[in-house]
Amino acid sequence: MKEPEIFNVESLPYEMPEGDEVLKFLLREPEIVYNTNPPARDAAIEHIRDGIPKLAIDTVLEKTNISRTQLSNILHISTRQLNRYEKDDRLSPEQSNFLYEFTRIYTRGLDIFGDAATINNWISRPNLAIGNVAPVDLLDTGEGLRLVNNLLTSIEYGFYS
């Protein structure tokens, strides 16, 4: 009788974790993101818990058309507090989570729509499918994030544009 083959996780080719692309978008320098090679599967969770660096705020403001006021609303802080962050400061876990989720929605939109101009336009215009509200205005709650993500799924599969 043949011996059963033992499943060895180490022998599998490494797959990039889902959150990896989001962290690459948020953080300009990959060495800030990971100290190990390949990246740990829970790197996104660790970054959210440790606090995403202020650098990510600057990156989001540079790479998207979202305003500082809109971003402060998503992060649940005042624009004034957002402006006070120093270069080496880190966001709280709650703020890090909302920034990460916003970026996940944005990068998914980039993938679906194909370019920054289209996602920037789509995210800021009122949309009938979500109550004639701009998607960016819903990204400050978990339920709003879910609604926008579901809408992106519908668009991805051709059910709504």
**Residue boundaries of the structural domains of the chain:** 17-156
pLDDT of residue 118: 95
Residue type, 117: A
Q: Which two three-digit tokens encode residue 12?
A: 């599998």
The residues, ordered by sequence, that sit 6+ positions from 155 with a Cβ below 8 Å of its Cβ are 112, 161
Q: What are the per-10-residue average pLDDT scores of the chain (161 residues)?
A: 40 43 72 41 82 91 93 95 89 95 94 93 94 95 95 89 56
pLDDT of residue 19: 54
pLDDT of residue 42: 72
Eight-class DSSP state of 13:
P
pLDDT of residue 15: 39
The residue behind tokens 């990039």 is 16
pLDDT of residue 6: 38
H or E element that contains 69: helix 68-75
Q: Which two three-digit tokens encode residue 79?
A: 């624009």
